[in-house]
Structure 1
Amino acid sequence: MSDFAAHRLLLVHAHPDDESIGQGATMAKYAAEGRSVTLVTCTAGEMGEILVPDLEHLAADKEDGLGEHRKGELAAAMAELGVSDHRFLGGFGTYRDSGMKWHEDGHAVAADDIHDNAFWHADLTEAANHLVPVIRELRPQVLVTYDEFGGYGHPDHIQAHRVAMYAAQLAAAPSYRRDLGEAWDIPKIYWSAMSESRFRHGLRKLREAGDTTSFEGMDPDGYLPPFFVPDEDITAEVDATDYIEQKMAALKAHATQIATDGPFFALSNNEGVLVWGRELYRLVKGVAGPTGDNGWEADLFAGIPG
């Protein structure tokens, strides 16, 4: 019988709410099973759009208090997911949300004006050195972060990818910064993924139901921005359909960023189990464990002794 208590998962995300959108169900499932789940968030999301009118005074161009507020939202979301170990890279406030703007092709790019301590401007080695001791302390068997495009092009997502991947390499080198702890080589690294075919299916259902505003401009049978991964590149699917309720509660906890009547919940209402309850991953380091009939691992710890 597997000893789930020996399993340790580390996730590296850019802003509060990214974790709940991407891996909230997996996090809730693993935490409920007694596995160790640690979240490292790289910024407090200070530049996020505020969807709650009564909190608009917290905006960066006003009181600039959104980061502190989102720190509380993140804590509430983690409580919903049952995750007790969540940290900010280098400590709260070390790196600031870089902001973004939309490219005409439909993906995010860096904003025109970026704060001095924006994460996008962070020195890569310095930022990685904040993560190396976390890796060496926790000794995770699995690391989850973004792909090289950061999912949808946000500069902080791209930087989180770079920092996580570089820190994993540095943490594994016995002679590197011995003062940061004993070396640890993470056995398996995954990038989060969203299936193109599944998204098209869910979007088609929305359009058939008469919803033309959610994911506006996206055509289920036409061009989609490069957010999605072909099924042949996906290597793992965690079926956490029993934890959709926890994931939705965590999303609602991020109230300044995610509207309950917005596209996330619209898609959930139509295809929630398929889209939100079964979270997908690409294995980019390590050896895949046993797979199911679809050729995908059913557990990120597949093949890891436990």
Structure 2
Amino acid sequence: MSWLNKVRNSISFIQKRDTPDHLWIKCPGCSEMLFVKEYEDNLSVCPRCEHHGRIGADARLNMLMDPGYVLLPAPVVREDPLKFRDSKKYTDRMKSARAANPHPDAYTNAVGTIEGKKAVLGVQDFGFMGGSMGMAVGNAFVAGIERAVRERCAYVAVTAAGGARMQEGILSLMQMPRTTVAIQRLHAVGLPYIVVLTDPTTGGVTASYAMLGDVQIAEPNALIGFAGQRVIQDTIREQLPEGFQRAEYLYQHGMLDMVVHRRDLKARLATVIDYLTAARVA
């Protein structure tokens, strides 16, 4: 042992006080360390760079709906119809996802009001298997539309997904036409369908109900697209523009109607619902 180690080991140091990991969060946008409470009080938006973090279904419902909203029961579907297994069984993946989330699948509906305007709100949670669209998500979406038809009110879908759920194969892809037909039923009775696209909204969800809204709203800098940027670049063999597939770029090119900060989203939804339903009620 060297003399330096002997001296160091003979010195009594004050024990370092551990700081609980749950007190801080690193902003994915600017990498600043933020107090979790400060971050959550700011609707999970970084107060430094305005990066909009991903939030769960319950946080989204509490943020957008007035107190007193009622959750709709989750539809029951046949689980693991293909007996799918990759590195893990599909049933095991589902158990893990349900253990980490408050809802049985990635899509949750609630009925209530948004600043006094009646609506059914469907929220997709990226935290549940990447918000992937399987039969349960498709059934929940259709059930939400049917409830909006019965309530004679608008249907609002908040999307966040990596696409179709590969563990359900063609059955997951069948949710694309099913949800499209459900939206047509809503329109047939003169009710509005509003979409809020959040980060990320990709794959089969973008290719179906995420892009069929009467009004398309997105949160700032949300990633929105069908295929990934690298896949597109390799296919067309061209460099894509900066900000490609981000909300602001899509807004500038006419694919979105507006980009709204999270703090203003509830009020903007109420205004849009009021505008789209006023003429019909009259």
- TM bucket by the smaller chain? 0.3 to 0.5
Larger Rg: 2
- TM normalised by structure 2 equals 0.34
Q: Which has the higher contact order (CA 8 A, sep 6+)?
A: 1
